[in-house]
Structure 1
Amino acid sequence: MKKIAQIALTTLLFVGVTVNAQTQLKKGSVTYSMTMPNATEEMAAMGESTITVHFDEKMQATDMSMMGGMMLMKTIVPNENKKDSKMTVEVMGMKYEITDTGEDASKASNSVGNLENAKDIVYDKKDTKEIAGFKCYKATVNMNDGTKSTFYITEAIAPQMVAPESKIKLAGYPLEITTQTAQGDMVMKAIKFSKDVPAEAFKVGEGFTKTTMAEFQKQMGGM
Structure 2
Amino acid sequence: MSKPLVLITGVGDTTGAALVRRFAAGGYRIAMIARNAQRLAALEEEVEDAKAFVCDIGDLDALTDTLAKIKAQMGKPAVLVHNAVAHTFDTFLDADPRDLERNFRVNTTALLYLARALVPDMIEAGQGAIMVTGNTASHRGVANYALFAPTKAAQRILAESLARDLGPKGIHVGYVTIDAAIDVTWLGSEEERPSWLKPPAGWPWPREDYYAKPDAIAEEVYHLAHQDRSTWTFDLVIRPFAEKW
TM-score, L = length of structure 1: 0.30
More helix by proportion, 1 or 2? Answer: 2
TM-score, L = length of structure 2: 0.28
More strand by proportion, 1 or 2? Answer: 1
